[in-house]
Chains A and B, each alone.
Chain A
Amino acid sequence: MRAFKIGLYLSAVLLLQTVILPRFNFLGVVPDLVLVTVVFYAVLLERTPATLLSALAGFLQDILACPFYLNTIIKTITGAAANTFRERFMGDEYTLIAGLVALFTPLSVLAEGLTLHFIFHREFSLWYFIFRLVAETVYNLILVPLLYPLVRVTLDE
């Protein structure tokens, strides 16, 4: 039942991310619902299921909306790294999740930007890059309290 609920939630997140959220873009920036979800599960699950879910979420995001497997890599690393923080953190999980979202959102934007620039030779303005770092982090932080109860429900047996 728990696996089914997580699967259902993940499917809804992926459809929202690729179909509906792009319609709410602000100067091209949309929240990364998948990244926030990956951080949630990295904090709330053990390492193996958390890593597997992160990899699966990133892979499906790539299948749906990216011509290569950049999200698979970013989300897998985020899941594993966030899980490591969780093992060393003392305090309530909500603070940890918000902190990790604030940390990993700019890092993932940075990783995406650097990969696209240096490997795929894409150009973009530095100001837009900085704007996206800030805007996407704010967007994702807004999502944390909205998603928290939903993710908690998916983890109930």
Chain B
Amino acid sequence: MTSYRPFKRKNSYSLAITVVLLALAVSYFSWLNLAGLRSLLTTVITPFQLATTVVWRGVTGAPGFVFSLGSQASENAALKSENNALAAKAATLVELAKENERLRQALDFRGGPRYGGRLVAARVIARSGSPWLSSIEIDKGAGSGVKPDCPVVVREGLVGRVVEVAPSSARVLLLTDAQSSVAGADQRSRDFGIVEGYSPDTLFLRYVSSGADVGVGDQIVTAAISSLFPPGIPIGTVSAATKAEADLFYEIKIKPAVNFSRLEEVFLVQ
């Protein structure tokens, strides 16, 4: 091991100070895309991320692969992908049926397929390292027709929405991020509020008036008033609903329907 002795040299922090000021300026003035540089770098890096993801899946899936034939494995993967897409649609059938019933009763049927019929599969290729920044990177971008605010789902429910699009990748803000807010409704009582992210396994349903009927175990789904998300996508289950006597609103805790730490493949609703 090398030993160091103290020595005098001219301390220059100008480079570090310049970089920090530049980063602050770029962040503050919202030049986040750096005139396309960010998109360009993301495009260059995406194939490497994708390759790493594929290699990693190969490594972790190797033991199972040994016991199966190659053709069976690829067929299984295709069927699994198809099954996930179908399951994502099937997950909303309960909500569809309830809505259908309500609409029939009102004799004002205006319903339609929940996801508009088009789900595009995408692979998760990177995640934000920090638990306080809940976002993922997917391998579909503007080239596949992905646009900002595009809803992202899995068969269990809502994942989040696209916030940044590069030519071949996109960044998805997860429902659990503190910056995320979605109009949500109680599937049973139809009371609605705003679902906000808090931690990887907790969401809050806010601004639900204290006179509403929300109980533990109720399913929360996207509300029809949302302009971004199709109605009826599962968000989570109420795990606690409390209110003090003087409170105007409920304090409602939700356990997300989706396990965000295990996302491998997601679907974009287009």
Contact = CB atoms under 8 A, between A and B. Distances in A.
A19 B4 contact: no
Contact of A19 (B27, B41, B125): B125
Contacts of B48: 11, 15
Nearest to A123: B178
Shortest 6 CB-CB distances between A and B: which pairs? A28-B131, A80-B16, A122-B178, A22-B127, A18-B126, A69-B23
B32 A51 contact: no
Contacts of B9: 87
Interface string A39-64: 00000000110011001000111011
B105 interface: no
A67 B6 contact: no
A68 B27 CA distance: 6
Given A21-B129, A125-B199, A128-B199, A67 B171 contact: yes
Interface in A105-157: 112-113, 116, 120-125, 128, 132
B72 interface: no
B1 A67 contact: no
Interface of A is mostly: helix
Nearest to A72: B23
B55 to A, nearest CB: 9
A80 B13 contact: yes
Nearest to A30: B129
27 contacts: A17-B129, A19-B56, A27-B200, A30-B131, A47-B12, A55-B16, A55-B19, A63-B41, A63-B45, A65-B127, A66-B133, A67-B173, A68-B27, A69-B23, A72-B19, A72-B23, A73-B20, A77-B20, A80-B16, A86-B4, A87-B11, A90-B3, A93-B1, A116-B132, A120-B178, A123-B198, A132-B131
Contacts of A87: 6-7, 9, 11
B129 A61 contact: yes
A64 B178 contact: no
A3 interface: no
B16 A15 contact: no
A20 interface: yes
Interface residues of A, number: 59
A122 B132 contact: yes
Contacts of A77: 16, 20
Q: How large is the interface on B (under 10, 10 to 19, 20 to 34, 35 or more residues)?
A: 35 or more
A9 B51 CA distance: 17
A132 B178 CA distance: 17
Nearest to A121: B178
A73 B129 contact: no
B135 interface: yes
Nearest to A64: B126
Interface in B196-219: 198-200
Contacts of A92: 1-3
B126 A19 contact: yes
Interface in B99-145: 125-133, 135, 137
B163 interface: yes
Interface in A63-113: 63-70, 72-73, 76-77, 79-80, 84, 86-94, 96, 112-113
Given A63-B41, A80-B13, 17 more contacts: A18-B129, A20-B52, A22-B127, A27-B131, A48-B15, A51-B19, A60-B41, A61-B129, A65-B127, A68-B27, A70-B27, A79-B16, A93-B3, A116-B132, A116-B178, A120-B178, A122-B178
A68 B38 CA distance: 11
